[in-house]
Structure 1
Amino acid sequence: MQRILNSRHLTGWLLAAPLVVVLAIFLVLPVLMIVVVSFWQATEFSIVPAFDLGNYEFLFTSHVTLDVFWNTFRYALITWALTLGIGFTVSWFLAFHIRSQTTQVALALLCTVPFWTSNIIRMISWVPFLGRNGLANQAFLSMGLIDAPLDWLLFSDFAVILAFVHLNTVFMIIPILNSMMRIDRSLLEAARDAGASPFQIMTNVVIPLCKPGIMIGSIFVLTLVMGDFITVRFMSGSQSANVGRLISNDIGLLQYPSASATSVVLLLTVLLVVAGMLRLVDIRKEL
């Protein structure tokens, strides 16, 4: 019996070995290299491979970098809240108000239509709509809602958040919808028979059973927003910044040690956020 168990154990390791090798080469080693480079020194003309904590000291003492990190968290939290509200509402409608499974699938696939084009194309499409002479301002002017075009619709924090929500809402819809479709409808009927209101059914039955899906969607949205820099650059008109753009600027200036240090701090921050979320909900139920 022990020989059989040892054989199965060895077989399991052999089957996992190729994936372990791939992950070690293309994930672990690059991350280790980034960590090592983050302790190097950089001058105007060269990079010195010497141990130095100056890059991290600058990150944690500079008001500029602290403001950039706060800006990143602010974008992530606002986008998460909006995508959660939209994703939960859309998923609720598809799961509990659409009777036909074919229609449910068709409408769920319709939510993925924007992904048939690139993120940049979808961001640029907002420019003629939100611009000073764009469709939104022209519509508001024609209806008499405003006397002059609104300047804050484009190249502002509003435009950045709008683009983030547009790009990432589907990552919240699909996991939540998957959780809602697994809910036994007899539980909802039992709650109604017990006299529960629709709000009580949602808060006491649906939301607790949808926690794994909500957590998966939240992890997707938060990690994507915190690592994004193209959206902030285009939609803010280069008037705002986040950590991703800070890293991009350092790379453009060939300041690889500084970029590596910022990347390490961002990676650790994201890992801590994800670890904290995983402590709250066991998402293995959805996997």
Structure 2
Amino acid sequence: MSAPTASAHAPSPSVHAVKAWWQAAPFALVFLLFFLIPLALVAMVSLWNFNEYELIPAVTLRNYLSLFEGCSQLTDNGDLCVTLNTYLSTFKFCLLVWGITLLVGFSVAYFLAFHVRSPGMQTALFVLCTVPFWTSNVIRMISWVPLLGRNGLVNQMLTGLGLVDQPVEWLLFSNFSVVLAFVHLYTMFMIVPIFNSMMRIDRSLLEAASDAGASGWQTLWNVVVPLSRTGILIGSIFVITIVMGDFVTIGVMGGQQIASIGKIIQVQTSYLQFPLAAANAVILLAVVLMIIWGLTRLVDIRKEL
């Protein structure tokens, strides 16, 4: 009697498919419960009507239309409507913070990856960069107040040195302080992915570029930057998505005087205008997804990783 062949005991493709589904089921359940269902609820509430006393579960586009009311024409002063002005303000902060964090994050990551030779020192300096994350965002923001305030250390130093006659007002509760706080809070989100991409670069490529006569800047632009584009893209997605929806930083560092989409949603929620806030959230999500889609067209993240 012949011995059974190995193929007779091999599991069928259907068994492999069932095992794969069971392995993915917990992650799919978490994704469904904490992402898809909440998004569906927000989209559903955005179509409800409301008054001063109650939510009315009736499908209507009133909330979306009210957000863009008057946006088809300029105001008497030649300005855009409130919603478009708010989005432009948010985009302005987003672009400024993205550019500064990219410059600072790339520089720090480049120094750690290519100028610090000791792995132990690399780890120590990298951990040092994470020290601010050991405290909450609010505490880190508030720490700027005694420095940038009218009677803060910076103004005292400027007046003491005779550089200004009176305290500088725009250091705190201004666009400057908002951008400064954003850069302080979120630069690490740019450093980590760029540093990870740079550590994967084959150092022989840098030597080959040097042997071919390339200068340091040419090697940086033609070798390091292209091979770090995955980290740059991931860091950009992190920073842009966080800044677009942030309302705490703008509220604290802007002195509750600077508008943003996240701030408007927070105010509408505090006044129990949940359908209007949900409509704003859906539009914000659509805008952020379009930005991410445009960024991912530049680099295929799945292929690069």
TM-score range normalised by the length of the shorter chain: over 0.9
Distance 1:233 1:19 in 2: 35
Distance 1:143 1:91 in 2: 35
Choose which of 163, 168, 172 in structure 2 pairs with 1:145: 163
Structure 1, 78-87 or 63-72: larger mean CA deviation: 63-72
Q: Residue 70 of structure 1: CA displacement?
A: 1.2
In the alignment, which residue of structure 1 is the partner of 2:92? 74
In the alignment, which residue of structure 2 is the partner of 1:56? 64
In the alignment, which residue of structure 1 is the partner of 2:283? 265
Distance 1:285 1:85 in 2: 25
In the alignment, which residue of structure 2 is the partner of 1:159? 177
Structure 1, 272-281 or 109-118: larger mean CA deviation: 272-281
Structure 1, 52-61 or 92-101: larger mean CA deviation: 52-61
In the alignment, which residue of structure 1 is the partner of 2:18? 10
- The structure that is helix-richer by fraction is 1
Q: Residue 182 of structure 1: CA displacement?
A: 1.0
Map 1:1-287; keep pairs closer than 5 Å: 4-62=12-70, 63-284=81-302, 287=305
Distance 1:155 1:253 in 2: 24
Which ranges in structure 2 are unaligned for 5 or more consecutive residues? 1-6, 71-80
Q: Residue 100 of structure 1: CA displacement?
A: 0.7
Q: Which amino acid aligns with 2:36?
A: V
Distance 1:137 1:167 in 2: 23
Contact 1:72 1:242 in 2 (8 A): yes
In the alignment, which residue of structure 1 is the partner of 2:77? none
Distance 1:94 1:274 in 2: 28
Q: Which amino acid aligns with 1:66?
A: L
Flag as ranges the 4+ runs of structure 1 deviating above 4 A. none
Q: Residue 241 of structure 1: CA displacement?
A: 1.4
Q: Residue 147 of structure 1: CA displacement?
A: 1.4
Distance 1:181 1:130 in 2: 37
Distance 1:155 1:52 in 2: 39
Instruction: Provide Cα deviations, 1:132-157, integer angstroms capped at 9, x if missing partner.
Output: 11011111112222111100000001
Distance 2:91 2:140 in 1: 23
SS at match of 2:187: helix
Q: Which amino acid aligns with 1:133?
A: N
How many aligned positions are there?
A: 287
Distance 2:34 2:110 in 1: 39
Root-mean-square deviation (CA), in Å?
A: 1.4
Larger Cα-atom Rg? 2
TM-score, structure 1 as length reference:
0.97
Distance 2:96 2:176 in 1: 11
Contact 1:229 1:245 in 2 (8 A): yes
SS at match of 2:162: coil
SS at match of 1:51: coil
Distance 1:286 1:110 in 2: 29
Q: Residue 180 of structure 1: CA displacement?
A: 0.8
SS at match of 1:61: coil
Distance 1:64 1:114 in 2: 36
Q: Residue 197 of structure 1: CA displacement?
A: 1.0
Structure 1, 51-60 or 157-166: larger mean CA deviation: 51-60
- Relative contact order, CA 8 A, sep 6+: which one is greater? 1
TM-score, structure 2 as length reference:
0.91
Contact 1:179 1:286 in 2 (8 A): no
Distance 1:8 1:143 in 2: 74
Contact 1:213 1:286 in 2 (8 A): no
Aligned residues: percent identity?
A: 54
Q: Which amino acid aligns with 2:44?
A: V
SS at match of 1:148: coil
